[in-house]
Amino acid sequence: MKLTHGSNTGTEVKLRWLLLGELATWIGSSFVWPLTSVYLNKQLHISLSVIGLVLFCNCASNVLGSFTAGRLYDRFNPYPLIVAGLGTDAVVLFFMAFFHGWPAYWIWLIITGFVSGWNGTMINSISTSIKKYPGRYVFNLIYFAQNVGTVTGTLLVGYLYDFSIEFLFLLASSLFAIACVNAAIHYRPIINFHKERKAKNKGASGKVKTEPMPKYNVMLMVGFLISLAVTWLMYMNWESNLSVYMVSLGIPFHLYSLLWTLNGAIIVTVQVILARFPRLFKNLFQQIIFGTTMFALSFATLIFAHDFAHFALSMVVLTLGEATAFPAVPAYINDLSPMTSKGKYQGAISVARGIGQAFGPLFGGMMIDHAGYIPFFITAAICIFMMVLLLIPVHAKLRRHIKVFK
């Protein structure tokens, strides 16, 4: 395995400011997505089929935003791109506070989906510029901040929604405005990083030469992206169809919500453990395999779940997979990516995730309608475990040929 070290000259964006930005934006985002289906159905009387189309458009625009941002990060100065993205999200949420009828709400969701994908990819790409800490440490803490934000937002949204939806959107807008100001003040070192990267990789024509990812790296990355998309395809059914299944078994809906509180608490705990013991896994690949296996086992345990205790056990297993595999994938792909194309491949991660998110509820719903829940759980477990069987031999064959970029 060959190792290429990047330059660490100049001042870096400090990790704590990236974490603050992620925390603020994920709290703000978590004010919006949990209430969308309830608000559209109960307040605006939109049918569930149309709501499904609305959510699909939101996910599709998120994928487009991720793809676009990844390409632009590699070519242009990321500083104005991230500041503009966060500022746009703040403005959109501000207008949503006053214009949230139909179809305006749908239009705003498409725009904010695009900007959300844009911002997420930009933050991940900027994270790759940090050399003070190992990549796995950086991405574990980024994922930690995201989940603290999600837990905080989802805990508050129920109370705030009952108080005033206008206030909810204004508060979300304020959080994105805080993130925008934070970026404008503290992300300026990325300008120097971009200039150094541009000067170092400038070709004879004066344009920046984009170093292609070595073919063996590409092959391994494609395996990771396929695995990520399949995992998200199945995982999204925990957020959509599992609530219906639990209620049909006589389990109160508030206990389903409690599962997600458990999910957030375990994620935060696991991230603290990984930050404290970064060598708990020998390498990132082992961490990804462990996490993906836990995802498969979580669906296998659902086959036998008929009461809350068993669903809680399944959630624990699922969350162990989520907390280990999801932050390890961008960290590993960062190691596989040349300096001049890190944004492109961080964007590819967001695209793979977005495809799974967009089609997951549709795939699960159609299969459950035609075959039932148990066949779906069996299919999900088999499909995710097949990703493990795909990755292990591919990695074993390619690991001596891949080139790692630091």
Domains 13-204 and 210-406 share a fold: yes
The two most distant CA atoms of the chain are separated, in Å, by: 70
- The pLDDT value given to residue 34: 65
- The pLDDT value given to residue 96: 92
Q: Which residues contact residue 98 at a Cβ distance below 8 angstroms, ignoring those fewer than 6 apart?
A: 166
Domain segments of the chain as ranges: 13-204, 210-406
**Residue 5 scores a pLDDT above 50:** no
C-beta neighbour count of 258 within 10 angstroms: 15
In angstroms, the CA 224 to CA 216 distance is: 13
**Residue 381 scores a pLDDT above 80:** yes
pLDDT tens for 273-323 read: 887 887 889 899 999 999 999 999 999 999 999 999 999 999 999 999 999
**Residue 4 scores a pLDDT above 50:** no
Mean pLDDT of 379-399: 95
- The pLDDT value given to residue 202: 65
Mean pLDDT of 346-355: 88
The CATH classification number of 210-406 equals 1.20.1250.20
- The pLDDT value given to residue 1: 45
- The pLDDT value given to residue 364: 84
| Per-range mean pLDDT, top range of 54-63, 105-114, 334-343 | 105-114
pLDDT tens for 359-371 read: 887 788 888 888 8
In angstroms, the CA 5 to CA 390 distance is: 29
C-beta neighbour count of 55 within 10 angstroms: 21
- The pLDDT value given to residue 208: 58
Rounded (10°) CA dihedral 393, 396, 400, 402? 50
Q: Is the CATH number of domain 13-204 1.20.1250.20?
A: yes
* Torsion region of 45: left, alpha or beta (phi above 0 gives left; psi -120 to 50 gives alpha): left
**Residue 158 scores a pLDDT above 90:** no
Q: Which amino acid is at 184?
A: A
Task: Compare 292 and 168 and report the one with higher pLDDT.
Answer: 292
Mean pLDDT of 67-95: 92
Average pLDDT over all residues of the chain: 86
